[in-house]
């Protein structure tokens, strides 16, 4: 399968713990996005990378959240001192700079539950 992959698929943690999620984009895609989705809502944009550069961040990305894409390939999203309000599905998407219409392809998501 050459689609976007995310690990882990599910994460249960206790309030106050740190968690890290990984996203592996489609291999030739140089743009990578993180979204958050809560139950019954559409995905909300968090941040976007082009290669290793983080070019856009949402106000939703508080200082407890940090995302990296060190070599322009996979990306990690870390949440420090998790809160119950962080419980959500975290989605990763990728797209190619060579694609004229910039369709974004999404991974299966990581479902985070903060107890």
Partner 1 sequence: DAKTTQPTSMDCAEGRAANLPCNHSTISGNEYVYWYRQIHSQGPQYIIHGLKNNETNEMASLIITEDRKSSTLILPHATLRDTAVYYCIVRVATNAGKSTFGDGTTLTVKP
Site residues for partner 1 per CB under 8 A? 4, 31, 33, 35, 40-45, 48, 50, 55-56, 58, 91, 93, 95, 97, 100-109
CB of 90 to partner 1, least distance (A): 10
Q: Which one, 75 or 104, has the nearer CB to partner 1? A: 104
Q: Which position has the token pair 């998790």? A: 82
CB of 81 to partner 1, least distance (A): 25
Per-residue b/e over 35-73, b at no fewer than 16 CB within 10 Å? Answer: bbeeeeeebebbbbbeeeebeeeeeebeeebebebeeee
């Amino acid at each position: 399968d050459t689609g976007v992959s995310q690990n882990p698929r599910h994460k249960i943690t206790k309030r106050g713990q740190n968690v890290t999620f990984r996203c592996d984009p489609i291999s030739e895609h140089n743009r990578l996005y993180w979204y958050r989705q809560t139950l019954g809502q559409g995905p909300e944009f968090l941040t976007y990378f082009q290669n290793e550069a983080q070019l856009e961040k949402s106000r939703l990305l508080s200082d407890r959240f940090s995302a990296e894409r060190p070599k322009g390939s996979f990306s990690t999203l870390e949440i420090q001192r998790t809160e119950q309000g962080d419980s959500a599905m975290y989605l990763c998407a990728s797209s190619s700079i060579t694609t004229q219409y910039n369709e974004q392809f999404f991974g299966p998501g990581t479902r985070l539950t903060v107890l």
